[in-house]
Every structure is written in C-alpha cells, then in structure tokens.
C-alpha cells in the first residue's frame, strides 16, 4: 500500500518523517529475522548451600562443610530465530520429573519451549540432593529413608530461572567455533576377574573415550565469552568418606580453566557410565590428588581451545527431540513421578520411554543428549557413524533414567547392571534411533 503525504496535515507529516528511520530496522527484522545476527550470553550462579545437606552419590550421608563452591553455568544462544538454553550444574543428577517441573516454569515465565532447554549435570558425587530421588529409589530404596530438602531445591530452581532470565538480557553479538581435544584423565572402571565378572575398579584395556569436544563462544571483538567442554568422566575422585561439598574433578577443572581464560566454562559430561577418573574414590581431595586434574584435563581443554582458529557469526540453531522406546526389565517397578516415561503395550510389555534431544549447529555440528548414564562404546559408535564431523554426546541430560550398557557388558554383571532398568536390547534400540535421525539430517 502506498501512502500519500499530501493527505496528511503538516504536523502529521513531520511526525511520520521522524518515525520512518525508527520503523525501517523493525521492518528489516520482520523480513529478515536473522538480520540481528548470532548472539550469546553466559551467567554463572553460585548454588553452594549455607546449611549442611544430604549428598547424592554413594550411601546416604550429610555434608560437614565446603571444599569448593558449586554453580549453575548458563549459556543462552540466539540465531535470531531460535533461542537455546544450555545449563551445566555442579550436582550429581536429578529425576526427569524435576527437570519437567523447572521446564514448565520456564515455559510459563519466559516462553522457552522445553526442546530448547537442556539441563545437564556434571555428576559430582560430592554435591547436595536436588528434588525427589526418582528412579534410584527403585534400585536403592534403603538409601532414601529421608525427605529431600525442599528449601534447597527451591533455591536451586529459583536461581536457575533467574539466571536464564539474566542471560537473555545480556545477549551480545557473538561468534562460535568448534574443535577437538584429547585427555587421558579417565579410565574404564569395569575391572574383570578370571570368572568374567565385572567389579568397580580399573580396566586399562577396556573401552574408553578420551576426546574433548569443545564449543567456543567469542564476542565480536574476539574476546572469550564462554567455553563448553564435553568430556566423559565420573565425578568420583572423592569417595563416600568425603563429607565436603565439591564439584569434584569437573568443578576443579572448570574453575581452573576460567581463571586462565577469563571466561566461564560449562563442563558437560559425556558417556561416563563405565569411565572413572584415573584417581578414584579417595577419602579426601588431597588423597585423591584432585588438584592434578587441572593439568590432566584442564590444560588439555586450554590446548584444545588454542587449536580453534576459525569462528563464525553465521549460525543456525535447530533443536529437536524424539522418544526411543525400549523394553524394561521384567518385574521392575516404577515411580509415580515418572509415569510419563513408561507405557505398557497391549501384549503386556513394559517399555521405558527415553527422551532424546538433538541440537544441530549449521551443517557440521550435531549434539545429542539423553537422561542416561551411558556406556562409552555406545556414544563412540554413534559418533563414528554420524555424518556430522563434530558429533557430541551430552550426558546426564534433563534427568537420570539409569545406566544403559551394551548387550555384551550386561553378560558380565556388576554394579551398573543392578541399577539399570534396561534389557540387552536397549543399546541397539538407542543406537539405531539416534544414528537414523542424524543420517536423515544430511
């Protein structure tokens, strides 16, 4: 429609002429929604409790103090069309029902769809419980003879929501880079005796994943905004004898890299179901040589960061999800708060409904995530079969639905089998579903 200035009074004409320069940017954005370009922000929020807390991981025990602080680290990325939230929290895990609760609040308060909200956990075994136990109560009922601390849980939730809101308000033009690194800070922990039985220990000949997957976010001027480091390692340098709150190896590594880099590091664990730190289950940080992980893993993250020489502001984000259904162990019970994560077929077979998330960044980066303690052979195979040159698995994502082992490893028994709801079919069901999805995107 053409507008004739002749029909508008002189005063109105002047107002219109003044308004036109203000309207053009809005019209341009409406026609080209990516015109604003790629933006990002990062926020780090302290969630260290003031009171003693029940710690998750190992047997039930209460903290007596703090060795190092624990945090939410929050990154928001915005390509002008999709806004994506990634969170790394220094706790062991939560029930998927706790994720659902927070995701619903986030959708209501900030309009962020759950598919664009990933909440990952570093899996430190020296941090407080958050929310109801969920599936672990089925396997380890004796451990949960107490109520979780609702006051601390509400604080963790509130600080997460406030932190995401703050990050959205701090979005700045940004650039993104990607790369690989390598660290030998982990080891297969499925030790086997002559009878073939598996035990928690060390297996230097067992499968392992020592790759570091790295995303780097820079400001427009090239200064670092944030790092996202993906590495598979249990947060078990310290044993159940330790009663001091700590981020364990992931937390120590994150703090060290941040001091060196001058920007926050989101430590995102990988397929660590059968991978322990090379120093594992010691009674104290000193006995476990916790500080050495600054060199063993922290310096390797910094080296990988230096190898990223190219970044771009031309970014497209595509988030999606699918449900993988696989049979659960016969006669295994379930918890009421996880009723959306199971169903029974007409033939009476109980299934686990496993939510898998995907984030595609441009044409070369594919990230997938699941609420699993996954064995590394599975993520290694998926990465090898993926058509994307950078394929990362973000573990402990949006909750915890148990260990998922390969069919071969299930025959050896061991602790992980006792806390898995899955049958030997699960590894193939998951692998085929994820690979088919990734291959369908190329």
> pLDDT-based confidence at 347, cuts 50/70/90?
very high
Mean pLDDT of the chain: 92
User: 406-416 in b/e burial notation, b at 16+ Cβ within 10 A?
Assistant: beebbebebeb
Convert the pLDDT of each residue in 35-70 to its tens digit.
Answer: 469 999 999 999 999 999 999 999 999 999 999 999
On whether 412 is known to bind a ligand per the annotation, the reply is: no
Tell which wins on pLDDT, 1 or 99: 99
What's the CA gap between 368 and 359, in Å, rounded?
6
pTM value is 0.91
Name, in order, each residue with C-beta under 8 angstroms of 60's C-beta and a sequence gap of 6 or more: 54, 143, 144, 145, 146
> pLDDT-based confidence at 140, cuts 50/70/90?
confident
Convert the pLDDT of each residue in 388-402 to its tens digit.
Answer: 999 999 999 999 999
What's the CA gap between 233 and 250, in Å, rounded?
8
The pLDDT of residue 10 is above 50: no
Region of residue 414 (left: phi > 0; alpha: psi -120 to 50; beta: else): left
Give the mean model confidence (pLDDT) for residues 18-39.
Answer: 48
Say what the pLDDT of residue 142 is.
Answer: 86
On whether 72 is known to bind a ligand per the annotation, the reply is: no
Domain ranges of the chain: 317-440
Give the mean model confidence (pLDDT) for residues 315-333.
Answer: 96
Q: Which tokens in the block code for residue 270?
A: 């990988």
Name, in order, each residue with C-beta under 8 angstroms of 429's C-beta and a sequence gap of 6 or more: 324, 325, 326
Give the mean model confidence (pLDDT) for residues 100-124.
Answer: 98
DSSP 294: I
Say what the pLDDT of residue 81 is.
Answer: 96
Say what the pLDDT of residue 40 is.
Answer: 98
Tell which wins on pLDDT, 21 or 345: 345
Say what the pLDDT of residue 32 is.
Answer: 36
């Amino acid at each position: 429609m053409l507008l004739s200035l002749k029909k508008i009074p002189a005063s109105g004409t002047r107002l219109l002429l003044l308004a036109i320069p203000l309207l053009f940017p809005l019209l341009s954005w409406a026609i080209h929604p990516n015109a604003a370009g790629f933006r990002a922000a990062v926020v780090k929020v302290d969630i260290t409790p003031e009171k003693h807390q029940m710690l998750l991981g190992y047997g039930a025990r209460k903290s007596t103090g703090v060795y190092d602080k624990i945090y939410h680290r929050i990154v928001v990325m915005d390509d002008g069309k999709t806004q994506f939230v990634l969170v790394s929290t220094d706790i062991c895990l939560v029930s998927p029902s706790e994720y659902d609760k927070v995701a619903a609040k986030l959708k209501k308060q900030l309009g962020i769809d759950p598919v664009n909200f990933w909440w990952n956990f570093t899996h430190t075994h020296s941090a407080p419980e958050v929310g109801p136990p969920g599936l672990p109560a089925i396997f380890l009922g004796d451990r949960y003879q107490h109520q979780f601390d609702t006051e601390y849980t509400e604080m963790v939730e509130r600080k997460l929501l406030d932190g995401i809101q703050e990050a959205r308000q701090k979005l700045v033009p940004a650039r993104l880079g990607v790369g690989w690194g390598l660290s030998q800070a982990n080891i297969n922990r499925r030790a086997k005796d002559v009878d073939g039985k598996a035990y928690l220990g060390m297996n230097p000949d067992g499968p392992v994943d020592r790759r570091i997957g790295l995303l780097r976010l820079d400001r427009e001027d090239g200064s670092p905004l944030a790092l996202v480091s993906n590495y598979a390692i249990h947060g078990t340098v310290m044993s159940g004898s330790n009663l001091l709150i700590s981020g364990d190896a992931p937390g120590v590594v994150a703090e060290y890299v941040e001091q060196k880099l001058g920007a926050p590091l989101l430590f995102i664990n990988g397929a660590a179901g059968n991978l322990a730190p090379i120093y594992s289950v010691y009674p104290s940080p000193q006995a476990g040589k916790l500080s050495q992980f600054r060199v063993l893993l922290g310096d390797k993250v910094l080296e990988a960061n230096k190898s990223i020489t190219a970044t771009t502001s031309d970014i497209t984000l595509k988030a999606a999800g699918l449900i993988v259904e696989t049979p659960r162990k016969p006669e295994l019970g379930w918890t009421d708060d996880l009723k959306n994560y199971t169903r029974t077929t007409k033939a009476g077979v109980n299934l686990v409904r496993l939510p898998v998330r995907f984030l595609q960044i441009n044409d070369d980066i594919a990230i997938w995530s699941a609420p699993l303690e996954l064995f590394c052979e599975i993520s290694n195979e998926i990465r090898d079969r993926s058509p994307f040159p950078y394929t990362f698995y973000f573990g402990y994502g949006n909750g915890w639905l148990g260990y998922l082992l390969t069919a071969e490893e299930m025959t050896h028994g061991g602790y992980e089998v006792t806390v898995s709801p899955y049958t030997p079919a699960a590894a193939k069901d998951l692998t085929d579903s994820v690979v088919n999805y990734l291959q369908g995107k190329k």
